Structure formats: C-alpha cells, structure tokens
Amino acid sequence: MQALSRPVLRQAAARGVTHGSTRTYTRASNTALTRQLQTPTTPSRQQQHIRRLATSRHDDGSARSAVINVLNNIASKREVQQYLAQFTSVSSQQFAVIKVGGAILTDYIDHLCASLRNLNQMGLFPVIIHGAGPQLNKLLEEAGVEPRYKEGIRITDGKTLGIARKLFLQENLKLVEALESWGVRARPITSGVLMADYKDRETYEFVGEVNQVNTPSIKAAIADGYIPVLTCMAESEDGQVLNVNADKAAAELARALVPLKIVYLSEKGGITDKETGKLVEAINLDEEYEEYMKKSWVIHGTKSKIRDIKTLLDDLPRSSSVAIIHPESLERELFTHSGAGTLIRRGTKLQQASSLEELDTQGLAMLKQTLVRDRAGLDSAAVVDRYLDTLKSRSFRAYFDDNMEALAIVLPPAPGSTNQLAHLSTLTMTRSAWLSNIADNVFQQLKRDYPNLAWTVKQDDENLTWFSEKADGSIAKKGEVLFWYGVDNPEEVRQLMSEFVQHGRQMFGDVNLESQLHRAAAAAERIRAGAASIIARRPGGSAHQQQQQQARAFSTSTRQLRRSHPANQHQKRNYATTNPNPPLGIHNSEKNYPSRIALIGARGYTGKALIDLLNRHPNMDLCYVSSRELAGQKLKEYTKKDLEYSNLSPEDVRRMAQAKEIDCWIMALPNGVCAPFVEAIEESGQASEALVVDLSADYRFDGNWTYGLPELVQRSRIASAKRISNPGCYATAAQLGIAPLLPFLAPSPAHPTVFGVSGYSGAGTKPSPKNDVKNLTDNLIPYSLTDHIHEREISNQLGAEVAFIPHVAVWFAGIHHTISIPLKEKMASRDVRNLFQDRYHNEPLITITGQSPLVKNIANKHGVEIGGFAVHSSGKRVVVNVTIDNLLKGAATQCLQNMNLGLGYAEFEGIPGV
C-alpha cells in the first residue's frame, strides 16, 4: 500500500488488548549518546538535542548536517528531505511567518531560539512577529492603569500606548539579542513595515487595523542573511504609532509574503475542545468551518481566531496552512508527517464513486492511470485491469480529489453479514497530495464513513508509523502488517489476528490490489531468475537472448500465478472464518497462533510473575515450564490448561527446537547458566525462526543480541530481533532516571551516582543473608559497593560512566533509586521535570511526578515512577528519584513487552491496566 499523507487524527486510540500496538515501529537506536541523539521522542526532547547541537560550534556545513541528522530521527529521512525541498523551493521570505506570543518570550525563549537556529542552519529564514500581551498587563498594573476591553480588543489610550511602545521595543531587542547569543543573525524591524488605519478612534483610541505591508526591509534582511524580527506596532499615514493585534498583523504579513507555513506559537499548544478536553488536531475549513462556528465552546477569541484564519487562507494558495503549536513543537510541525498542535487548512472537497459507471470515459482512464502509477512492473497495468473487473461485481466506495492526486478504495462489509469490518483495499497518494494535505481529508472521511476498518501494508513500508498512528491495533507477520481501528471486542481482535497469521493479505480474498501487485512482481522475479539460470547454462546463450527470455517470462508471470496460486482457493474468505483456538498440542505447520512459549527456569519469583502474565495473555500459549526442583508437580498458577513442571535439558531443547515446537524461549535462569540452552537452539537449525529472551546478564554485553528496553531502544530493532537480552531491574530504573539528562551531564570525572535499595525478592529464592527477613528487619544491607554488573550495564548502555551502590531492605518487592546527577550548565527544577515529562509523555508504563515516588506505591505495579527533581543551590546538580517493581517492569513485564514486539503483537498486550 502506498501513502504519502500527513496524519490528522494523530492520537491513536487505545482499546482493550490492542493498546499500544501503534508504538511498535518507533523510538531510538541503541548505543551510548548516539542512541539518545537518534531517539524520536517528544518535541521537547528533540528540542534539547537540537539545543545541544546549536550551542556547539560547527562550520555551516557540519552544523546543517548535524541538525538534519537529528531531524531525521524526529521523522524519516524521506519526510525531512521532502519538507526541506519544499521549503527551499520558494523564495526565502515565502518559507514561513511565525507569530510569537508574549508568554513565549518569557517562558520559552530558549526553545524558540534553538528552533530558529536549527532552521537557520538549514538555510531557512522565517519571518518573526511577536506580541507582549502578558508583559503589558503586568506593566499596566504596576503603573496603576486599569485595562479596558471591548469585544475582546484592548482599548489603547495615550498612556497605554506609551507603555506598550516602550515594552514592545524592549521585547524585540530581547529576542534579537537572545538569537544572537545562540549564533543566529537577527535584525530588529520595528517600523516602516506595517501600515494601519484607526480601527474606531472614538471607541478604541490608538488601535489600528493593518491596511498595507511594506516588504522591502524584510526581503533586505533575509538577503543579508538575517532573520527579520518584527513587533506588532503599526503606523498611520501621518506617522502615528498604533497598537495592532499580533494575530491579525501576522495574517497581513502572510497575505503579503504568501508563505507555505503560518505558525502561531502559543503556550497552550493549540485549540482545545472544551467539551472533550482534548486538543483539536486539525480543522478542514472547506468541510468543517460551519460546524465549528456552531459549537457552544467556540466563542469570543476562539471564534474570532478561526474566522480570521479562514479569511486568511481563502486569500492564499491551498498549499498554505496555519498551525497553532507549542514552541517546543516547531520542528515536529515543520518536518514530520504527524505534525503538532492544531493544523488549520482549507482542505479539499472529495468526490466519491460507488460504481465504475459513475465515472465517464476520462474519469475511468484517470482511475486506471492512478492505480498503475508508482507501481513498478511490466504487468501492473494488466493487474489493475483485473482488479477493476472484480469491482464490477462487488460493492465498493472510492474517494478521490479532482485530479486523483489522492485515491482510496474501500470494500464495505457484505450486506447482512455479521462481520462489519470494512477493508481499505488500496490507498495511493502523490507527493503533491501529501504536501497539500489532501491525504488528510481522505482518511478523515474514511473515519466518518467506516467506523470499523482494516488494511495491510508491507513491514518495510517507509510510511509505517503514519499507518500506525491511524490504527487502534496492529500485528506483524512475515514481512506484512495488519492494521485496524474500531474493533473493540477482544474476541473479534483475536479472530482478526488469527486470520492474518494464517492467510496474510489473502484473509480478505483476492481483492487487495497491493497484494496482487506484490505477488505478480515476486512471481515475475522468480520466473526471470529461473529463465536467466537456464539460459546461462546453455552453450552460446547470448545476453540478448537472455533479455528476450526474461521479458517473455515476466510478461506472462501473472497469468501463470492466477492459475496456480493456492490463495485463489480462498477468494471469498473473510476474517473469522476459521477456528482461532485449535485443540492445544496440535500445531499445524502453517499456523503458530497462539504463539507457543517455553519458560526455562520457572521456579524463581520472576518465573512466577511471567506465568501469571502469560496466563492473562490472549495470544500466547505456555507449552513448557522447566524447573529442576519442581519437575513433575502441577503448575497451579496456569489455568488455560493442565500443565506440569518439567526438567528440560539442553538436549531436550535442541530436539524441541529442531521440531519447531516453540515460537519463543524465555530463559529465566541465574547468570552464567543459560548458555548451553541457547547453544542448543542455535545448533538446531531453528536459530533464524525462534525468539529467545534471556533475563540473565549473560548476553547484555553481546553485540549480536538486542538490548530490550523499549522506552530507550528503537522498538523496530526489538521487533525484528530474534535474540533479546532483558535488562536488569536496577539498570532499567537507573537508565530511565538518567537518559533525559544525558546531553546535560557534567564532563568527566564527574558522573551520576545511583544509590539503589531493593526489596529482598531481588536476592532470589536461594537462602542468603540478603533475603533473610530476620536479618533484614531494622536493617539495611549494602553489597557490591563497586563494580557491580549493573554498574557496567548502566554505563555501557548510556555511554556515560555511572557509579552504582546497591542495597537490600526488608520489604519484598520494589526498588528505590536516589540518583545524583552533576550538570554542565545551570538548570531549574521545573526545566528538569519538563524534560522528563516531555521525554516520557507517550510512555504508558512511566509516570512523572513532582514529588519523590514511594516504593510502597510501586509494588505489584507494572510501571516506573520518576520524580523528586531537586536541584542544588548551585543549579548544577539534580537529584532524581525512581521506583520500580523489580519483578515486573524490572523483569517479567519488560520481558512480555519484548516478547510482544518480537512476536508481532501489540507491545502492551496482556499487561493489566495498560
């Protein structure tokens, strides 16, 4: 499936067991500071990366390259290059007009400067215009001037104007100097650009409405290599300074400059729907304007803002749009498909067709051309013809714009069918449709018309995260991914997943165009390769003969495929047509769903916690539990079926692996014990098929294994791995408590120090002084005060030296860390907390709190709590507290996250409360 579209409904819904599935294909790579710089995270997190780069000194070329490298991790390289090419395709003053609210200059000026330097280093020159409303209110109050308003407009008398003019000039200079301190050349332009008439002199006094914009000084500043910084003061014909509304002034600037982007930076981050309390992510004015104007909460300033934006966009090309965003989100808005805040654009009216007869000859020809475009292959036109033939005999609905830059074809559920799941058969977008936001309209319309929808894409599709953001859930299998939304019932989800595991795209029958094209191309490649091999073996076979034979083979491949491909036996198949729960113990070679799990080392606390989680998991079948001490006893905690503990040897494991009886092996063994079992799997020939998750430290430093900390390691790496080392409990909490501050660590020899205290379950079940309750009562036992293996693990993964001091206390489960972190620059407690909130705000298992978290509140919980954020009086040392249940997120829960990712399920499947 092809798609180049900016998502509008960016917040994927999380329903039931599918929660979190759309997160599988994002996040960071894994090694040291490079991993942190490559982490696609929340906007503020990226802002900190960019600020770190901005404050370093590079030549222009290396700085540009470094910033682009960071942006490539907010979005795909392709996204960044697309937007950069678009922005640099117009004259410099036509890139963007950015209106900066007064509160931004007070609270977020560093974020703004970092972003502007980022843009400037890529050769972009936004035009900045700022206000100063909050500052003016404060000064007027101090001067004893009572603010007066009429219809939301400030009445500006002579005294107010005098204070305002002085203030605006000061704020303008403040921003220019701040930019200069960040290495950005900025030019203050405080007069001569905005001309205005009195709005209503008798009522508003010195308030103006802009009637003319003089752009030469703006263009001259940009030509000289400066970012122009304007203030929202205008002049009348006779030279009188007038106060003008900053939003309206920005709109008039946009009319004069015709930029691609108009951005309103606001501390609120967008328009909030007062009824739902949620951010309005997009407004398509052509379709939704009247609807919004009638909403009860759209009043006063909000109504005026939307009305003014519509008036502005009506005067600009459809490629222009307005974004209302938080200053921390500027790069995400400009360079990613997902964007940020509230996006407002004119939109595009979509046409619809429910039969081919509704299209005239020209329209039908355009439809064929649209379906063929960008689909490589000599037989693609023939495949499309056959696809259209199938549409003549079944219901469908096509959505497209006038030029078919965007096209979606949906196959609705059959009338009277109990299955109400529609199928998105094909979706294709041109680059132009993507850049002009037409694609957004298409998917919005699909959401309105089809409350239940499923679609499939290739797992290497470059727009995979875009599809993920549209979905409620997903599952990957053999290079393909099934996405869906609106399927709420867990049993229906299981049936849907079961069908996909068995049949792939063929679960919908032979009506998926992308599936047909992929099969045709694959078959053609096989035939071409076979023909080339035959000719190569013939005496005197010429290159010309080989080319002729390859062409003939390719051109006939699809016809051969249709005669022989077994999928054609299931052309009428739809999901939920097979039993998703066959008798346990019967393993069809074509089916391994639910996934078959073996747990080696089930006696310990972590093993028991895993058994409990697997017992709840709808898509995993625990087939073997191995424990030497408990062999032969019934596994009472597992209620899905009768199961006994066994005592599996490495030779047993080798035999089972050769027979492909297990899809995932969990090694819950002590350190230094699991190697023979792993070697048995490797030697069985199943090394490339079975997933192995090791909970010990044996492979945490092995580069051939993937370190499984999903909140910090790229989830797509974990999803594609077959060998995953589960992090240590202490190490997980410590890394999560330090990672957001990596760019701000003081240079060596200073380093973070982690004082950790664990409950005695962390000492295991083998009797020792560290798990002897009597010995621990009224006591605190330190151990391995230097060179603990977790110290090495934390330092290795973060790429920074960390000191770790572990202790054990009398409680059973739970770890408390107090982490002292030296900083290279002064920071405030609020700044540190914001860093953590922004870094982890999309992580359901991580909670950020202003107070120090308590260990008693984390026991039996599946997440992590981070808080405290106390900053030393010097401003250059912060103390962070972290709590985690060592048996759950510190071990079993994290293991299940890794299993879900590695087996193609939603990451948080089977984790209670997520």
Query: What phi, psi does 664 have (nearest 5°)?
Result: -145, 125
The residues near 316 (Cβ < 8 Å, ≥ 6 apart) are 254, 255, 258
Taking the C-alpha atoms of residue 868 and residue 851, their distance in angstroms, rounded to an integer, is 5
Taking the C-alpha atoms of residue 230 and residue 250, their distance in angstroms, rounded to an integer, is 10
| 8-state DSSP, 668 | -
Helix, strand, or coil (residue 319): coil
Query: What phi, psi does 443 have (nearest 5°)?
Result: -70, -35
Identify whether 749 is preceded by a cis peptide bond (ω within 30 of 0). Answer: yes
| 8-state DSSP, 711 | T
The DSSP bridge partners found for residue 228 are 187
Active site residue: 113, 664, 729, 895, which one?
729
Taking the C-alpha atoms of residue 89 and residue 538, their distance in angstroms, rounded to an integer, is 53
Query: What phi, psi does 80 have (nearest 5°)?
Result: -60, -45
Lookup result for tokens 């094909």? 426
Taking the C-alpha atoms of residue 504 and residue 864, their distance in angstroms, rounded to an integer, is 36
Number of H helices, E strands in the chain: 31, 35
Taking the C-alpha atoms of residue 529 and residue 281, their distance in angstroms, rounded to an integer, is 49
Picking from 308, 225, 217, the residue whose alpha carbon sits closest to that of residue 262 is 308
Q: Which two tokens stand for residue 478?
A: 């053999």
Taking the C-alpha atoms of residue 550 and residue 905, their distance in angstroms, rounded to an integer, is 40
Identify whether 594 is preceded by a cis peptide bond (ω within 30 of 0). Answer: yes
Q: Is 729 a catalytic residue?
A: yes
The residues near 96 (Cβ < 8 Å, ≥ 6 apart) are 87, 124, 126, 127, 259, 260, 261, 262, 263, 334
Per DSSP bridges, beta strands 781-782 and 753-758 are unpaired
The DSSP bridge partners found for residue 194 are 213
DSSP string for residues in 389-437: HHHTTS--EEEE-TT-SEEEEEEPPPTT-S---EEEEEEEE-HHHHHTT
Q: Which two tokens stand for residue 333?
A: 């808005």
DSSP string for residues in 22-55: GGTT-S---SHHHHHHT----HHHHHHHHHHHHH
Helix, strand, coil: what percent of the chain each, to 5? 40, 20, 40
Lookup result for tokens 């600037």? 253
Picking from 622, 618, 626, 625, the residue whose alpha carbon sits closest to that of residue 597 is 622
Q: From residue 824, how far is each of 81, 83, 291, 743, 863 by CA, in Å? A: 33, 34, 52, 9, 30
Taking the C-alpha atoms of residue 468 and residue 478, their distance in angstroms, rounded to an integer, is 18
Evaluate the CA torsion angle 146, 152, 156, 161 in order and state its sign: positive
Taking the C-alpha atoms of residue 626 and residue 610, their distance in angstroms, rounded to an integer, is 13
The DSSP bridge partners found for residue 634 are 644
Active site residues: 729
